[in-house]
Structure 1
């Protein structure tokens, strides 16, 4: 038997009972569409989260005061000395350092001549523009401190500037931030959200003024950017040695951005795989449907099998015919599932344009291969039963 004759026989067998075939392949279609859609959503969310964490660069070491220690009831944050602005300046003098960003953050009221509102306030330094890769829409960013003391200047996020001053130029205007008077010297370009955190709705003030404003004795954290001429583990050790020498103990926590991103990526990838696996459970419904259809087909076509065997058809050819029917049925379900996935993803994009979706083209090929595997697994047992039928016994069923 030629392969094209076998393909025609398989197709005709499925088309003879279109309703039953359609109902069977619907199970595969639903399973494939569930896997594709859930994977696209999972990959989109993973990409969005990683992009948010990495938009400020990956060659970053974050230093936080206090050292995480394990105890009987879990992790305890133990620290005896705060992380100071002087520590940040010492880190700036290390080799391979590109920028050091001391950070103190909180929230408070900002009052313009005619409007006021409560906002997030960041105390930071002049390196923020370089470290966070932001640009100025108006004016300039906070200048470096002079002899350890900064002038009372403030830089506004794009949205905050519009809400306080509208279309007017805010440069040179006096505002009160947490009750202290500052002069507006710059407005940042629109930056957008970072993981739900609006970077355009922030007031940026010098870190030494933020210490006084929030009544703190040290920094919340410091971010250190380093160049590509040194490996992250080596640079982490340099930072650790410097701070231990200054503090006389390791009472701080160091976190490398690339290590954090690697762990986050693995966690989100595992979550995406888990969600896709849950969607793939619906493929079991399709497999059961194909198994039922093929078992019924073997019982209904026993005489046809006997005739085929009596005309010289081998058991392998009979096995191939019924396996071919199962694979065609599952592949048709896979194609229908891909079409259904396209419709669902298009609908999600229209209904929720902010939902990140990442559809990998290779996923379509994987889905079709998965559908074929489902067909083989579901159709093998009925096909083997058909191949083992004896011609004489099968013809008696006519």
Structure 2
């Protein structure tokens, strides 16, 4: 049998009744779309999170109050919380290998300039913040290093500059932060958003002023940026030893950037596994549909099979015809699934342009491979039965 004749005979049941073929392939389409779409989105989320963390550097260790047994997530148990102080931060800054130390306390509140008011995030921090996190200034200067008893000064983000001052020079102007009067000494360059936080819609004040503003006795976090010549393992040991000397017990949690990314990757990995399982169920349903329609086609085409056998068509060609039909149905469903994925990915790219999501070439090959395997498994039994039919019995059914 010529390849052209084989393809015509294998595809004619599929193209002869498009509506039935479409319904049969729908399960495969849903399964392929679920797996490819959510895997693609998962890769985009992983890349987005990695880029968001990496833009601040990778040589960072976060110190948070309270001891937690679970690495990778900031924060400790309330029952074991002990204060982290500015003195602790200064002690960590004296450790070998330390490049910058950033103290943090934050909350939300109103920022007022004249009649204009905007509710935003207020960050109480230390002078190393802009260098440690690579937050350059558009004008003015960052918070001064006064060693305590800081002046009431503030640095505002790009969006606050627009909303409160309409891009006019704000340096030397006074704003009210949470009801207290602060003098603007700097404006940050645009930084955009990351992990749901608008980095341009923030105001920065000295850490000791932030503690007083939010009525807190201790810091929420201390971030240590270590030098390139030091490893995170060595730095963690030094920080731990220093804080144990000061606190007398391990009432703090240390989290490296690698641990944060590792935790996120584990969470995304579990989500991907769950999505793959759901897609597998859809593929199973689609496979059952193909098996059912192939069995029905076998009954409807018994006479045709008998005629082919009577004119000398060998068993292996009948087997290949039915397997080909099953594979074509599966590939039809895979094509629909990929098309659905492409449309949704395109919409995501338009609506959320900063989200790094795109269909990889490997996605098409994986989808085709899964479809072919599903078609083979679904069609093997009907195909085998067709090749075993007796020509006389098959023709008699007519």
Same fold, judged at TM 0.5 (above): yes
Measure how far apart 1:63 and its partner are.
0.7
Within 5 A, what are the aligned runs for 1:224-239?
Answer: 224-239=224-239
Within 5 A, what are the aligned runs for 1:1-398?
Answer: 1=1, 3-68=3-68, 76-79=77-80, 81-145=82-146, 147-349=147-349, 357-398=357-398
| TM-score (norm: length of structure 1) | 0.88
SS of the residue 1:58 aligns to = coil
SS of the residue 2:68 aligns to = strand
Query: In structure 1, how many angstroms separate the alpha carbons of the residues matched to 2:201 and 2:352?
Result: 24
Kindly tell me: are residues 86 and 337 of structure 1, through their superposed partners in 2, closer, same or farther at Cα, counting changes over 3 Å?
same
User: Which runs of 5 or more residues in structure 1 are unaligned?
Assistant: none
Query: In structure 1, how many angstroms separate the alpha carbons of the residues matched to 2:283 and 2:172?
Result: 65
Kindly tell me: are residues 117 and 24 of structure 1, through their superposed partners in 2, closer, same or farther at Cα, counting changes over 3 Å?
closer
Measure how far apart 1:35 and its partner are.
3.1
| TM-score (norm: length of structure 2) | 0.88
Query: In structure 2, how many angstroms separate the alpha carbons of the residues matched to 1:104 and 1:343?
Result: 43
Query: In structure 1, how many angstroms separate the alpha carbons of the residues matched to 2:97 and 2:85?
Result: 21
> Quick check: 1:318–1:383 contact (8 Å CA) kept in 2?
yes
Query: In structure 2, how many angstroms separate the alpha carbons of the residues matched to 1:35 and 1:352?
Result: 21
> Quick check: 2:345–2:358 contact (8 Å CA) kept in 1?
no
Deviations 1:197-239 (A, max 9, x none): 2222222111122233333332111001123333322221111
User: Which runs of 5 or more residues in structure 2 are unaligned?
Assistant: 71-75
Query: In structure 2, how many angstroms separate the alpha carbons of the residues matched to 1:118 and 1:304?
Result: 76
Deviations 1:49-100 (A, max 9, x none): 4433443223211111222379xxxx84344752121211121122222211
Structural RMSD (CA): 2.7
Deviations 1:236-262 (A, max 9, x none): 111101111122222211111211211
SS of the residue 1:282 aligns to = helix
Measure how far apart 1:3 and its partner are.
4.6
Query: In structure 2, how many angstroms separate the alpha carbons of the residues matched to 1:309 and 1:295?
Result: 19
Instruction: Give the stretch that moved more between structures: 106-115 or 187-196.
Output: 106-115
> Quick check: 1:105–1:122 contact (8 Å CA) kept in 2?
yes
Measure how far apart 1:126 and its partner are.
1.4
Query: In structure 1, how many angstroms separate the alpha carbons of the residues matched to 2:381 and 2:17?
Result: 21
